Amino acid sequence: MLAAVLLLAALAARGGLAAYRPNIIVIVGDDLGWNDLSFHGSDEIPTPNIDALAYNGAILNQHYVQPICSPSRAALLTGMYPIHTGMQGQPILESEPRALPLGHTLLPEYLQQLGYVTHGIGKWHLGFYRKEFLPTRRGFDTFLGYYNGIVSYYDHILEGSYPGYGWLGGYDMRRNESVAWDLQGRYATDVFTDEAVDIIRAHDQRLPLFMYLAHLAVHAGNAGKLLEAPQEEIDKFRHIANPNRRTYAAMVSKLDQSVGSVVAALQARGMLESSIILFMSDNGAPTTQDPYPNWGSNAPHRGQKGTLWEGAVRGAALIWSPLLNRRPRVSFELMHVTDWLPTLYNAAGGRPYDLPPDLDGVDQWTSLANDLPSRRSEILLNIDERARNAAVRQNNWKLVIGQAEGGKYDGYVGSSGSRTDPPFNFSAVLSSPAGRSLAQHSARSGWPVSREYAMAGLRARAQVRCGPTLVAKPCDPAPTADKQCLYDVQNDPCEKNNLADIYPTVARALKRTLVRYRAGLVPQPNAPLDPAAADPKRFGGVWSPWQDGPPSDALQEEAPATPSEQGDAEQPAEQPAEQPPAPAEDKPAADKQTPTKPPKASKAGNKSGAGRPAAAPAKPKEPAPAEEEDVTTDDSS
Residue 611 has pLDDT above 50, yes or no: no
Active site residue 69: yes
Cis upstream peptide for 286 (omega within 30°): no
Instruction: Provide the CA 89 distance to its chain's centre, in angstroms.
Output: 15
CA distance 438 to 444: 10
Which candidate, 376, 405, 406, places its Cα nearest to that of 392? 376
Contact 29, 253 (CB under 8 A): no
Tell me the one-letter amino acid at 196.
A
User: Mean pLDDT, the chain, as a whole number?
Assistant: 86
Give Cα separations from 227 to 217, 219, 238, 573 (angstroms): 10, 8, 16, 9
Q: What is the pLDDT of residue 526?
A: 76
Contact 227, 294 (CB under 8 A): yes
- The sign of the CA dihedral 504, 505, 506, 507 is positive
Which candidate, 379, 359, 266, 377, places its Cα nearest to that of 320? 266
Out of 65-69, 213-217, 571-575, 619-623, pick the least confident.
619-623
Structure letter (DSSP) for residue 314: B
Contact 196, 275 (CB under 8 A): no
Residue 553 has pLDDT above 50, yes or no: no
Q: What is the pLDDT of residue 570?
A: 45
Look at phi and psi of residue 549 and say left if phi exceeds 0, alpha if psi is from -120 to 50, else beta. left
Q: Give 593 or 452, the one with higher predicted confidence.
A: 452
CA atoms within 13 A on the CB side of 89: 19
CA distance 548 to 128: 11
Instruction: Provide the CA 105 distance to its chain's centre, in angstroms.
Output: 19
Q: Give 436 or 556, the one with higher predicted confidence.
A: 436
Alpha-helix residue ranges (DSSP H) falling in 446-503: 452-462
CA distance 341 to 506: 31
pLDDT average, residue stretch 606-617: 38
Residue 480's pLDDT band (cuts 50, 70, 90): low
- Beta strand segments in 30-107, E: 58-60, 63-64
- 485-533: pLDDT as tens digits: 999 999 999 999 999 999 999 999 999 999 999 999 999 997 899 999 9
As a three-state string, the secondary structure of 29-51 is: ECCCCHHHCHHHCCCCCCCHHHH
Contact 407, 479 (CB under 8 A): yes
pLDDT average, residue stretch 430-451: 90
Tell me the one-letter amino acid at 424.
F
Structure letter (DSSP) for residue 84: G
Which candidate, 536, 610, 502, 514, places its Cα nearest to that of 84? 610
- From the candidates 40, 63, 119, 125, give the one annotated as an active-site residue: 125
Contact 160, 169 (CB under 8 A): yes
Active site residue 475: no
Do the bridges between strand 329-331 and strand 317-320 make them parallel or antiparallel, or are there none, so unpaired?
Answer: unpaired
Query: In the chain, how many H helices and how many E strands?
Result: 16, 18
Q: What is the pLDDT of residue 45?
A: 98
Structure letter (DSSP) for residue 187: -
Question: How much of the chain, in percent, has pLDDT values that exceed 70?
Answer: 82
Q: What is the pLDDT of residue 405?
A: 84
Out of 114-128, 132-146, 202-216, 418-432, pick the least confident.
418-432
- From the candidates 69, 475, 485, 494, give the one annotated as an active-site residue: 69
DSSP letter string, 111-138 = HHHTT-EEEEEEE--S--SSGGGSGGGT
CA distance 341 to 36: 26
Q: What is the pLDDT of residue 552?
A: 52
Q: Give 419 or 236, the one with higher predicted confidence.
A: 236
Angle ∠(25,454,255) on CA atoms, nearest 5: 35
Which candidate, 118, 79, 120, places its Cα nearest to that of 213? 120
Residue 171 has pLDDT above 60, yes or no: yes
Look at phi and psi of residue 42 and say left if phi exceeds 0, alpha if psi is from -120 to 50, else beta. beta
Alpha-helix residue ranges (DSSP H) falling in 238-306: 243-268
Residue ranges per structural domain of the chain: 23-373
CA atoms within 13 A on the CB side of 78: 28
CA distance 343 to 319: 12
Contact 80, 462 (CB under 8 A): no
Contact 208, 114 (CB under 8 A): yes
Q: Within 10 Å of residue 410's Cβ, how many Cβ atoms?
A: 24
Look at phi and psi of residue 306 and say left if phi exceeds 0, alpha if psi is from -120 to 50, else beta. left
Q: Give 256 or 602, the one with higher predicted confidence.
A: 256
Residue 475 has pLDDT above 90, yes or no: no
Q: Quick check: helix, strand or coil at residue 214? A: strand
Residue 610 has pLDDT above 80, yes or no: no
Q: Quick check: helix, strand or coil at residue 330? A: strand
Q: What is the pLDDT of residue 20?
A: 84
Helix or strand run (H / E) with residue 109: helix 107-113
Alpha-helix residue ranges (DSSP H) falling in 330-381: 340-347, 365-370
CATH of range 23-373; options 3.40.50.970, 3.50.50.60, 3.40.50.720, 3.40.720.10: 3.40.720.10
